[in-house]
Structure 1
């Protein structure tokens, strides 16, 4: 009886292992599956997946949200042995960290503004992102506080726990703020500034979109976040001020890339080409995203005119990695 019992156990183990191998192989060999990791906001991701499923009903298209910094970290760790096929809305400064694992891409450069085109063939620009200090005036009025007029004002003790900023280690938006102040103040002074600012920060958030969400919920009064997101909040009825200080508005652009060797898979190639040639510009317009295209024929409601941009020089992957290694919060 014991012999039969052992034999049954071995048979069950073999069946389980066999089934596991079959499942893993079926996932690997799912020729119709396309996996996209996107750092874009919910509205953009929802529009993207809706349009992709309509366009390619026979493909199993999966779109996962992850912050830009975490996408880069995941891809750097997994290299080409990853489930990701297409990366969307990756912050430009992260490209150098993962470029060895990305395809060389061909596309029509003539439709893009020239400042977004370089000799790097690993990406296609998809969106511009300027950032701002966004103020919930009603929350400050409730507390009898004045609107801060400078980065120095943000250090005043009355703003304790009223500020949120994206964490630079996981958010491209957060890094943009850090880099702009490094350029404006000098590296040592910038890190001293953040040492002091941290006393007033309620949260260094895991995504660039969260500070404005906290502002909408009244949990903070001052958000450091994307200008276009703040403009949409105003359009939706929130009484916010969008401003930037004498150092200027931090900015960067976001890109799309394809993991190396994935263009050999026809569904990935078709989905990438559709996003690059048609869908990205359509979603930019639908979701009021700052455009990377020449001759854009739309304007974001409540988006400020004549933005004074900050100095974002020396915006390289190696510089980003070096500066983030010094970030303590």
Structure 2
């Protein structure tokens, strides 16, 4: 072979290796992260990993959980990034998650990491229940702001409360499961019977009740603190109420879907998801994040919000999810909004 051909072949081989090295890997990522944040999350990740493209499939927690379960025998997702830990525990029990300890997971708060070694999932941030109270509409109707969950059963609030459906919304499920833990099984359902009398509608989105309160479409929206703080920062005339009994919460968490053909890229995303940079990104909206010492107070939220979160039994909430949702649907689904 002459020297010219040798050089040409060498150049071609170099080009092929370079193309392979920079070839973009695409990950299908199932998520319940707020739609408005997905672009920011992807752009921040791609600052460090421009060779991995994230294709998001986004919906509310209940819908994404049901979709994953339906695809159990033919998984379509590579990674779950931003889904309730209670949902991931259900998927784990079905053998649908690949155990993996991301680099740096040992630096996270222990309760933000699955207890198995290696863990099947790792936490990102916590979102907690809150009440959005429209002060203008409340004043027009002569309503005072509630201070507790039990206040919401008062007759004066009849028709003025909107909350998420727990079968489709992770926020709705953390509400229901936390009330059952706070008040006990019998009294918890009795409480929800009373609340139901005042509920105008159950939405299929955890953020929608607060958005409705912010827009004056209802007086009281049971939602979560991130959405509440964001609405208030945008100028909505709402008070953010943290009920005095304590607040239910769940954590957004991540996991690799078992059987993915893109395991290395999936591990890269999981490694990055527990990094300090990622936790700082989560803290833009969430006051409680997985890495200690990172979180700064979020405007309009109390600095002690983590202390006001109940001791949540995630295993119990996951193991009893189907039974709780079946009972809730039987009792209250008649007021749910139509599904889109």
TM category (shorter chain) comes to 0.7 to 0.9
- Higher mean C-alpha deviation, range 33-42 or range 185-194: 185-194
Secondary structure at the residue paired with 2:320? helix
Selected match of 2:101 from 93, 106, 123: 106
Report the equivalent of 2:165: 167
Selected match of 2:115 from 102, 113, 119: 119
Matched, 1:38 2:31: yes
Contact 1:43 1:287 survives alignment (8 Å): no
Matched, 1:73 2:71: no
Contact 2:27 2:262 survives alignment (8 Å): no
Can you give the 5+ residue segments of structure 1 that lack an aligned partner in the other structure?
Answer: 1-29
Shift of 1:122: 1.0
Report the equivalent of 1:252: 250
TM-score, with length taken from structure 1: 0.82
Report the equivalent of 1:89: 82
Selected match of 2:301 from 300, 303, 317: 303
- Give the Cα–Cα distance (whole angstroms) in 2 for the partners of residues 110 and 259 of structure 1: 21
Distance 1:251 1:271, change over 3 A: closer
Report the equivalent of 1:5: none
Distance 1:241 1:268, change over 3 A: same
Contact 1:44 1:287 survives alignment (8 Å): no
- Give the Cα–Cα distance (whole angstroms) in 1 for the partners of residues 62 and 226 of structure 2: 20
Distance 1:183 1:288, change over 3 A: closer
Distance 1:87 1:80, change over 3 A: farther
Once the two structures are superposed, the pairs formed by residues 157-196 of structure 1 within 5 Å of their partners are 157-196=155-194
Shift of 1:264: 4.4
- Higher mean C-alpha deviation, range 82-91 or range 311-320: 311-320
Contact 2:284 2:298 survives alignment (8 Å): no
Contact 1:111 1:293 survives alignment (8 Å): yes
Report the equivalent of 2:226: 228
- Give the Cα–Cα distance (whole angstroms) in 2 for the partners of residues 39 and 314 of structure 1: 18
Q: RMSD of aligned C-alpha atoms?
A: 2.4
Report the equivalent of 2:8: none
Shift of 1:298: 2.1
TM-score, with length taken from structure 2: 0.80
